[in-house]
Structure 1
C-alpha cells in the first residue's frame, strides 16, 4: 500500500436558526468570493481545535460543538492530496470582526446562493446541506478534471 502526502484544512458553516449563515468575502486572486471561514490544520493540532481556532481568527466568533458534515479533496500537481474537512455549527459567541482574509458578515443562505461565490462553493453547499451527500471529490482522467458528489 502506498501512502500519500496530504495537506489538511477545514471549513465551517456557522449558522443561526433564522436562515442566516456567516460568510466570508474571501480576498484571494485564485479563490475569491463568498465562502465559509476555515484554514489549515497545524502540525499536532486536532481537527476540532483547528476549526475552532480558524473560525475565531477569521471572524472573532468562538464556535462550539462543530460537527463534521463532509469533505472535499483533490490531487495536486506534486502528487499530494488536498483535503478540506467540512464542519457546521449553530453554537457561537463573541463579536463579529473581519480579518485580512476578507470581510465577514451574516447573510441569508438563499441570498448567498445568488451572490458571487468562490469557485465550487455552489457544489460545496450541497455537501453542507444535504444529508445524502458527504463527499466532494475531484479526479483527473485523461488530463480532464471532473468532480463527483458522493
Structure 2
C-alpha cells in the first residue's frame, strides 16, 4: 500500500518578537535571499519537516542571532502571503543569553515601538500588537 503525501499549502515558520526597553528587534534581510529579499521584518525561519515549533524557535534563534531564549511565550499564528504562503507562528522573547548578532540578515536593529507605524511590516505589526496585548511586555 502506498501513501500519498499531500504538500501543505503553506510553509510553516517560526518568528520571534524580541522586546527590550520599549523597542522590538527587526532585521533587514539580505538582497540575495530567495524569500523576501531586502525586506525589514521580525526575524524567524522555516520549520524543518517533523520539527516542533519550540524546537524551531531554539534552532532559529541560534542560527539567526546567536542567542538562547530564557523565556518564550506563544503569541499567535498568522498567514503571510509573500513570495510563498507562510504560516508564521510568533513567540515573544524578553530574556535571552548571548549577544545578538546578525548571522543571516544584512543587519538587525532595535526599532522603538512608538515608531512601528512608519514601517510596512505586515503581519509582524499585528503580532507585535497582540504580544503587547496578551503579555503587556
**Would the TM-score normalized by the shorter structure come out above 0.5?**
yes
Secondary structure at the residue paired with 1:57?
A: helix
CA apart distance, 1:125: 1.2
Instruction: Please give the alpha-carbon distance, in whole angstroms, between the structure 1 residues aligned to 2:121 and 2:82.
Output: 19
Residue 91 (structure 1) shift: 1.4
Deviation, 1:50, is 0.4
State the alpha-carbon separation in 1 of the partners of residues 124 and 44 from structure 2: 14
Residue 31 of structure 2 is aligned to residue 25 of structure 1: no
d(CA) in 1 for partners of 2:23 and 2:61? 16
Report whether the alignment pairs 1:111 with 2:123: no
Show structure 1 runs of 4+ deviating over 3 A: 28-31, 74-77
Q: Measured at CA, do residues 10 and 28 of structure 1 come closer, stay the same or move farther in structure 2, by a change above 3 Å?
A: farther
Q: Kindly report the root-mean-square deviation, in angstroms, between the aligned alpha carbons of the 2 structures.
A: 3.1
**Aligned mates of 1:9, 1:107 — CA distance in 2:** 22
**How many corresponding residue pairs?**
125
Cα pair 2:75 2:130 within 8 Å, conserved: no
> Does structure 2 conserve the Cα–Cα contact (< 8 Å) formed by 1:56 and 1:63?
no
Larger helix proportion of the pair: 2
Normalized per residue, which structure has more strand? 1
What do the CA deviations read for 1:104-141 (whole angstroms, capped 9, x no partner)? Answer: 12232223443xx4xx514431232136x99xxxxxxx
Q: Which runs of 5 or more structure 2 residues have no equivalent in the other structure?
A: 1-5
The alignment partner of 1:45 has SS state of coil
Change (3 A) 1:76 1:124: closer
Structure 1 stretches of 5 or more lacking a match?
A: 135-150
Asked if the contact 2:30–2:106 (Cα under 8 Å) also holds between the matched residues in 1, the reply is: yes
Cα offset, 1:15, TM superposition: 0.6
